[in-house]
Homo-oligomer: A and B are copies of this chain.
Amino acid sequence: MDMIETLHEVSTATITSQLIKQGGMRTRAVRGVRPIDPARFRFAGPAVTVRYAPMREDLDGLASIGHPDNPMTKAIETMPAGSVLVVQAGTMQGGALGDVLIARLVARGVAGVVSDGAMRDIAAAAGLGLPVFCAAYTPNPSAAELIAVETGGVIGCGGVLVYPGDIVVGDGDGVAVIPRHMAEKVAEAGLEQERMEAWIRKRVEAGEPIAGLYPPGEATLAAWRAHKAG
């Protein structure tokens, strides 16, 4: 199983725990984002970044995603299948993407979309089957508030530093971003943590108290190793 496949079985809660444990990193969960379809939120893949800045009233033409130099258009048309579009919007008022662009992302095989701003055409977009996370909904087109100014750069998204290629994972709790160089180890240790916690949760559901059991103390860890060796 490769790293991305593994991460599909690791929750963002486990990933953020591993990032604290392995690297003292407490700032890797994107703040305030929710999936537009509450039943479709699982994704994992490398980040392709787009950065918005505040609009200026005379730049609508240039800002248009129809313009050949528009960074959002470039990102959408060049990002590899399996990658994740990560957008720094910096405001909740403008709608970064609507259903037509999301339909294009589906056609291109993109794995997911994350924006710390708003989305629009939510009802139509939610039916397209792509996990899309955002901080708000708005009818406004992005040009009402925003202009795309760069793709391929380092960005901040919901309080998280994102380099292109960082591994982005989404689930029901939100979105976590793993620095590229840590992704293999986080995936591996995360999967192990998931398995152990599933085993612990069964014991909890059977009525055991949590002290020493969760988080696991030495005796619990030994029991888990014995159980695995089974």
Contact = CB atoms under 8 A, between A and B. Distances in A.
Contact of A25 (B57, B68, B103, B161): B57
Number of copies: 6
A144 B28 CA distance: 10
A27 interface: yes
By secondary structure, the A interface counts as: mixed
Given A66-B217, A201-B100, A54 B161 contact: yes
Size category, A interface: 35 or more
Contacts of A123: 41, 171-173
B107 A204 contact: yes
Given A57-B26, A204-B103, A136 B13 contact: no
A144 B59 CA distance: 18
A124 B41 CA distance: 13
